[in-house]
Amino acid sequence: MKISRHFLILLILVVTISVQAQNQEVTIIAPYQPSIGDAVKINAQPVMPDTAISLPPMNYSITSQAATTDFTITPIKPALIDINIPDELHRNYLRAGFGNYTTPYVELFTNSLSSGDYAIGFHARHFSSAGDIDDYGTSSFSHNNIGLYASRYLRKHVIDGKLNYQRDVVHYYGYKPADDTLYPLSDEELRQRYSMIGGKFSLATIQQRRSKKNFDAGLHFYHLNNLNETNELNIGTKANYNSQTQFLDFVENQELGVDLSVDYYHNTDSLNSGSALALSLTPYIRLHMGYLQLRLGVTGALAADSASKFYAYPDVRADYQVIPDFLTFYAAISGGLHRNSFKEIINENPWVDPLFPLGFTSTSYDISGGVTGKIDQLFNYNFSVSYASIDNMLYYNNDIIAAYSPEVPANFGNKFTGIYDDTQVTTVSLEMGYTQQGARLDVLLRGAYRDYKPATQAKPWHKPALEAALLAHYNIGKKLTLSGELFYNSKTYVQTRKEKMLIIDHNKAYVDLNLGAEYRHSEKIAAFVQLNNVTSTRYSRYYQYPSQRINVMGGFTFSF
């Protein structure tokens, strides 16, 4: 304890002396002489390392050997494009042949050569057959046609004209003479001849890219008569006017247009005389909006014969391109008025009664939809479904009530009359086509199934439910061309009389196969052969009217 006290006293004395020493002032009197000390140099030199790499010598060799593969390259011939226009053009084309059943055939086309100012042509055709269908009446027929047509090309318009004369002879052979020996009929009594002269003239604008207003207007006429004092005179006109316009900003291309159709008919037969007028007017607008195209219109129609009636029909269609050119959906609702003229009827069924009832058919509405497009660049297709309500639809039925003629109090049922009935029709149709590159092979398949529901008739007389066709055309080189046609019709129902009772009968379903070939010896001369009804099936499109069996025709063509 004493040592600590002495140590503390000693520490205080030392600190006091130090503080006093810091407060002393020191004054130095002498001149300032600055100096620099000697620098110490580094004598080491930098050394750059050598980065070069020495490679050891290498010795090697390459052995070339082809590798094996299963892939074989097939040489492709370059496409030949003929840019040279043929020096020689032919004005005339003659096709003539002869077949069994004593069937001569001659057809001639005569045309002017290529010109930018006009075109003139002439056409004549004769086709006939002696018939000779076993167990039936005389079935010979003859079809003749002569036509003259011309076109005049102006700077912005084209004028077309056509005159033609047609003469057809048929026989009402749809009965069996062995079954009706009480009232035998001569060939002259069975004979029917139709004679028609007509023409058509039109004026139209030539469609141009910058043309915003276009029209097409025409006048047509014909006069038709037969051996039974049945006459039909028709005078009519058809016109279309359309104009490109722009009143909707969001639509790329817009078209306003109107369709007009007027037909006047005057009909006379051995008992009756009368006139009829069919008129329709359809204003519409077309809208092109890229992938979507619309047609919006409405049709007003007037039907006038013994009475007059006005109709209104929708005219609407929409097309939507999901994939341009390959997949397009469409839908439509439409309708229309149709006059069943005597000319149209005999072209479909030449064995109708001269006193055939004529009338109007009105499609109140036809709702349809489908899809169309292509499968790659070779196949194209069109599938559609529709439902239609039709007033006064025309059906053919054998005339089993009226007598054949005033002189013969017998009825053979070998003539057809017309029955009109309201009908609902559902249709499913398909078309598919295949075209090989270079048009070497063309194939078309089409078919339609129709479900008819007449309002009062028991069956849709002479209307097949299913119709199908397969058409093919094949070029073998430049010399030989093959063609084929295959048709199928399902059975059709008919109404007939048996033992003074009305019964329902039918025509059987049938297949009709036709084959043809043409060999071109040169650009001017060729030979052909045509085989019709190859299966030699005796089928009936109309009741009591069987077809000829296999028909073979051979002939030639000549260009000059």
Question: How many other CB atoms sit within 10 Å of the CB of residue 332?
Answer: 18
Separation of alpha carbons 166 and 468, rounded Å: 30
DSSP structure string for 194-246: EEEEEEEEEEEEPP-TT--EEEEEEEEEEEEEETTS-EEEEEEEEEEEEEEE-
Residue 233 confidence (pLDDT): 98
Residue 376 confidence (pLDDT): 84
Tokens of 177: 């003479």
3-state DSSP assignment of residue 356: coil
Separation of alpha carbons 123 and 100, rounded Å: 25
Give me the long-range contacts of 484-488 (CB less than 8 A, separation at least 24): 484/513, 484/514, 484/515, 484/516, 485/512, 485/513, 485/514, 485/515, 486/511, 486/512, 486/513, 486/514, 487/511, 487/512, 487/513, 488/512
| 130 inside domain | yes
Q: Is 116 exposed, middle or buried (0-12, 13-18, 19+ CB in 10 A)?
A: exposed
- Chunk the chain into consecutive blocks of 10 residues (it has 560) and report each block's average pLDDT, rounded to whole numbers: 52 48 48 56 59 57 50 54 60 95 96 90 96 89 96 93 97 87 82 97 81 90 96 97 84 91 96 95 93 95 95 97 94 97 97 95 97 91 98 93 53 90 98 85 96 97 97 92 96 87 92 96 94 93 94 95
| 12 inside domain | no
Separation of alpha carbons 107 and 87, rounded Å: 25
Separation of alpha carbons 107 and 391, rounded Å: 41
Separation of alpha carbons 257 and 87, rounded Å: 43
| 407 inside domain | yes
| 263 inside domain | no
H-helix or E-strand spanning residue 19: helix 2-22
SS (H, E, C) 437-450: CCCCEEEEEEEEEE
Residue 23 confidence (pLDDT): 47
| 256 inside domain | no
Q: Residue 175's domain spans which residues?
A: 92-234+292-559
The answer to whether the CB of 198 falls within 8 A of the CB of 232 is no
Selection from 559, 532, 538, 544 nearest residue 127 by Cα: 532
| 243 inside domain | no
Residue 519 confidence (pLDDT): 96
In 269-402, which ranges are continuous DSSP H helix?
342-348
E strands, 324-465, where?
A: 327-339, 360-375, 379-398, 416-435, 441-454
Separation of alpha carbons 357 and 305, rounded Å: 13
Q: Is the pTM of this model over 0.95?
A: no
Separation of alpha carbons 218 and 220, rounded Å: 7
Selection from 366, 364, 348 nearest residue 356 by Cα: 348
Separation of alpha carbons 520 and 309, rounded Å: 57
| 188 inside domain | yes
Query: What are the CA-CA distances from residue 53 to residues 59, 121, 369 (Å)?
Result: 19, 93, 81
Selection from 211, 201, 285 nearest residue 238 by Cα: 201
| 170 inside domain | yes
The answer to whether the CB of 550 falls within 8 A of the CB of 101 is no
| Residue with the two structure tokens 């004593």 | 102
CATH number at residue 172: 2.40.170.20
Q: What is the domain count for the chain?
A: 1
